Amino acid sequence: RKLEDYEDYILSRLKEGTTNCVVLLEEIQAMGYKGQMTILRDFVRVYRQKPNKQGSVRYETPPGLQAQMDWGELGEHFVDGKLQKLYVFVIVLGFSRMKYMEITTTMNLEQLMKCHMNAFAYFNGVPKQILYDNMKTVVIKHSPTEIRFNRKFEEFLAYYGIVPKACKPARPQTKGKVESAVGYLKKNFMQRKLEPSLIKMNESLQIWLDNVANKKPNQTTKEAPIERFNYEQDHLLNWNERPMFPINKWTQSTVSPQGLIEYEGKQYSVPIRFKGVNVKVKQTLDHHIEIYDDLECIASHPLITGKAQSLTQMDHYREKEKKEKNVTTKGLATHHDSLLGPKVEQRSLQVYEEQSKAGETK
């Protein structure tokens, strides 16, 4: 009878996919439920399917030695005004089970590095080793005789004194701690009512980590991760004694009269109105360049490979054609002025480095 007034609400949440009784109890208690968890579990049990579990032996590591990292796929969600795929970066310290997680819209190399640095800040330290599966951004070859890591990512880890370790192919239980953490996130955090904003979701995730996930006793250690972390943190390597690892490469270039900039011997187009302007060029980790006038990105191109010498976009020249068709005496003067290029403030590349680093921290 205590549950009767809340059964319709519970059934609606079950239809949405929320079957975690801890989450449901929190929600109906906020609505006035005074009963116990047992009544709720008895009601929900008939709607749940119990997975077949296969036991495995946990490999325990000493404090500060190793962490396990993996991505989890969260499916499609309506976030920031559009439907998009979401992923979660998860890293777990082996000894304490202390977890850091971050929801993203991409799993590319640049995002992977940013998430690592956010995790290092959260732990205020780094482990000596990190265990990975065979994701392409980390491991480019794994055979019985050779393991080859992505060179850029290996440089990133070496910068912080970390040695990468690769799981054997098709053996996800090797990194069971992080696999368990991904499952826990999906069953608990992702079944809560979350605001449709990536920033808000990560803010809620931070609160959940601090107040729930890292305070819940682990089934193997029988202790809360935060309690064991207080001991493990002293064994982590320092990470903030050097500047943050530079993810982006910045250079300068001047737009030619033909509306082109030169980068590493190749030419790329920008909108023709920027001819004569000094611009900043950023090379990203996904093999693209972005071209900036002040802090505005005015063009983006994939890096040229092979024998091609230039890459242009027709949209960059259409505004010139339009002006020439509608030229007047007054318009001619305006057009003439535009050919001289806008006057822009000259900034040091350090400003752009700092702008990039601002996006790497929360």
Q: Domain spans of the chain?
A: 4-45, 66-235, 249-358
Q: Hey, which residues does 100 pair with through a beta bridge? A: 91
Computed on alpha carbons and rounded to an integer, the radius of gyration of the chain in Å comes to 26
Q: Judge contact between 110 and 117, C-beta under 8 A.
A: no
Q: Which pLDDT score, from 0 to 100, does residue 325 have?
A: 54
Q: Judge contact between 53 and 183, C-beta under 8 A.
A: no
In the chain the first and final C-alpha atoms are separated, in Å, by 46
| Helices and strands in the chain: count of H runs, count of E runs | 11, 14
Give the CA distances from residue 347 to residues 63, 243, 296, in Å, rounded to whole numbers and listed in that order.
46, 21, 13
Give the CA distances from residue 225 to residues 64, 98, 191, 326, in Å, rounded to whole numbers and listed in that order.
13, 5, 22, 69
Task: Tell me how far apart the alpha carbons of residues 271 and 316 are, in angstroms, rounded to a whole number.
Answer: 4
CA angle 52, 57, 58 (to 5 degrees): 110
DSSP classification of residue 126: B
pLDDT tens readout for residues 202-215: 999 999 999 999 99
- Give the three-state DSSP class for 310: strand
pLDDT tens readout for residues 148-160: 888 889 989 999 9
Q: Judge contact between 100 and 91, C-beta under 8 A.
A: yes
- Give the three-state DSSP class for 17: coil
- Give the three-state DSSP class for 148: strand
DSSP classification of residue 274: G
Task: Tell me how far apart the alpha carbons of residues 338 and 271 are, in angstroms, rounded to a whole number.
Answer: 12
Give me the half-sphere count of Cα atoms (radius 13 Å) on the Cβ side of residue 167.
21
Task: Tell me how far apart the alpha carbons of residues 100 and 246 are, in angstroms, rounded to a whole number.
Answer: 22
Task: Tell me how far apart the alpha carbons of residues 128 and 66 are, in angstroms, rounded to a whole number.
Answer: 6
Model pTM score:
0.62
pLDDT tens readout for residues 23-33: 888 888 888 88
Protein fold of 66-235: Nucleotidyltransferase; domain 5 (3.30.420)
The strand ranges marked E within the chain are 66-79, 82-93, 99-104, 129-132, 139-142, 147-149, 163-166, 249-254, 260-263, 266-269, 278-283, 288-293, 296-302, 310-311
In this structure, what token pair is assigned to residue 245? 């690892």
pLDDT tens readout for residues 78-130: 999 999 999 999 999 999 999 999 999 999 888 999 999 999 999 999 999 99
Average pLDDT, 10 consecutive residues per value, the chain (362 residues): 83 80 87 86 75 54 92 93 94 95 92 94 95 88 81 90 81 68 92 92 95 92 94 92 80 92 92 93 80 91 86 83 52 43 52 54 43
